[in-house]
Amino acid sequence: MHSSIGLADFVKEIKTASNTWMTNSGNFPAFESWAEGYCGLSYSNKDKAMIVDYIKNQKEHHRVTSFEDELRSLLIEHGIEFDEKYLFDD
């Protein structure tokens, strides 16, 4: 993503376009909507192979580790302070 593009605007565009496509395509009958929030993390280009591999295996990975636990671990690992009450919708 180019540094001149704001993350919030980028995510909004992706969610809007994909929501329209998923709703109208008929391929995702159980899809209702995206979650309200999002988390954006950046990685170096040298990590590209690792990220692609992770995405390919994400479904299996989340059978062992919940999304919530994984996000907490990432935030802690990278020294990002957070308040649990704002982290997830309940």
State the number of CA atoms in the 13 A half-sphere of 63 facing the CB. Answer: 3
pTM of structure: 0.62
Pairwise CA distance, residues 44 & 75, whole Å: 17
**Domain residue spans of the chain:** 1-38, 43-90
Q: What is the pLDDT of residues 11-66, one digit of tens each?
A: 999 999 999 999 999 999 999 889 888 888 888 999 999 999 999 998 888 899 99
